[in-house]
Structure 1
Amino acid sequence: MTVTFDALTIDWFGLATVRLEGQLGAVVYIDPGPEAYGILDGYEARDGDLVLVSHDHHYDPDSIRRVAHEDALVVVHESIDAAEIDRVDAAPEDLPFEVERVGADESFVLGPLDLFTTPAYNDPDGPHIDESGDPFHPEGQGCGFGVTIDGITAFWPGDTDVLPMHDDVPVDCFLPPIGGTFTMDRHEAAALAARLEPDLVLPVHYGTFESIEVDADTFVVDVAHRNVPVVLDE
């Protein structure tokens, strides 16, 4: 299923892998892969102008090679260290593309595209912690991305809890994680969507594996009852 929203065409492949295409032809991929989940099995489009990678859990060189064309720009969070990821075969700078590293709370103009980043992390005193009591996503180890294509701003907050700064993010199309466990859950995401008042909500980061299974239909009802347009791409 492909979702069309104003000037934007959106495809969700699973987990946080999203393809955005504007009417003027710009193609952006968010967090392609990882290959281990089979998200992009058989997919070899190589049409991406911009590839965004939010943190090390979503960094996958093979998936980037599947989606990026030869002149693509690959933007990765500054914390990604391939030497610490045993499933990958190359550091970002070893890929055959132009690569830029970014932190949180940055903004850029990339030709026809506007890009901004936001902090993404789990509160160490919150519910999204591992068996040792450490957050699954520590502060400083990832980011969210907002990208404006043909005047439409899509926002993927990353693997994160709801943070105070999220209430001030400009967004037309909101792509929240709703699986819980490692991120905000569907209740938190629905409440944030109501505060942001985007023109469309398309939930992601759920259902790919057991620990992020969720009743997405109930999320849709919850958001719709808050008078926010919402759709599933399944």
Structure 2
Amino acid sequence: MLEFITINEHSSIRIDEGKVIYSDPYNISSAAHDADIILITHSHFDHYSLDDIRKVMKSDTVIVCPTSVNEPKELDLSVKQVTAGEKFEVLGVRFEAVPAYNIGKPFHPKSNGWLGYIIDSSAHGRIYIAGDTDITPDNKQVKCDIALIPAGGTFTTDAVQAAELANAIRPKYAIPIHYGTVAGSPDDGEKFRKAVDSCIEVVIKL
């Protein structure tokens, strides 16, 4: 199910969308060097890892990151810095940047301008990568077909809160991420599945 989406671990996502798109590559075990586009949601070590970017990048890879993230000039790659609400295109793929932040937690302040992304795919519909976030007025307005939502708690939504967000935005498919290693436990995916409305198909990739 949804074989074109792979979760390495945590929030490390690979999407083969004709163009190969990585989001927050982390703990990459083999150097595939196949990334056309790399999305960075924010600057925490488990989301913005230069060592892991080097394992997936090619000479012509384009990196997309928030304007608040320091441009990785040492990689000698093309970098597009974007802000929340911005719609843009990279290598023929359309994207939208969505605010990602905590409410009542100190880890991801809204003022940092950190992001999630929507990939607007002609083949698979709108794919929402939520980034490190709580349920917010911004992400409750997202329209998507596939949603990848953090479920590990502590720094983000936990499994039940992630399901609440999925139930609010009602994608066709929901995939829990960001649990089992840096945050959360391996059974958070099943907790998420049980709390998601039956009209939404939950796909466990971790």
Normalised by the length of structure 1, the TM-score is 0.81
1:167 to 140, 152, 160: 140
2:108 to 137, 140, 153: 137
Gaps of 5+ in 2: none
Q: Match for residue 28 of structure 2? A: 40
SS in 1 for 2:59: strand
Q: Match for residue 55 of structure 1? A: 42
Partner Cα distance (1:140, 1:205) in 2: 22
Partner Cα distance (2:188, 2:40) in 1: 26
- Aligned-pair distance for 1:110? 2.1
Gaps of 5+ in 1: 34-38, 82-90, 130-134
Partner Cα distance (2:141, 2:110) in 1: 19
Partner Cα distance (1:148, 1:66) in 2: 26
Cα displacement string for residues 31-80 of structure 1 (whole angstroms, at most 9, x for unaligned residues): 111xxxxx212x11111111000101111111111112211110111112
Q: Match for residue 219 of structure 1? A: 192
Moved over 3 A (4+): none
The higher radius of gyration belongs to 1
1:110 to 66, 86, 90: 90
| Structure 2 residue 204 is the aligned partner of structure 1 residue 232 | yes
Partner Cα distance (2:80, 2:74) in 1: 12
Partner Cα distance (1:115, 1:215) in 2: 29
Normalised by the length of structure 2, the TM-score is 0.91
Root-mean-square deviation over aligned CA pairs: 1.6
- Aligned-pair distance for 1:94? 2.1
- Aligned-pair distance for 1:93? 2.1
Cα displacement string for residues 142-164 of structure 1 (whole angstroms, at most 9, x for unaligned residues): 11111123342211111111111
Count matched residues. 201
Please give the residue correspondences for 1:10-159 in structure 2 after superposition, counting only pairs within 5 Å: 10-22=5-17, 25-33=18-26, 39-41=27-29, 43-57=30-44, 58-81=47-70, 92-123=72-103, 126=104, 129=105, 135-141=106-112, 142-151=114-123, 152-159=125-132
Partner Cα distance (1:47, 1:140) in 2: 33
Percent identity for Structure 1 against Structure 2: 34
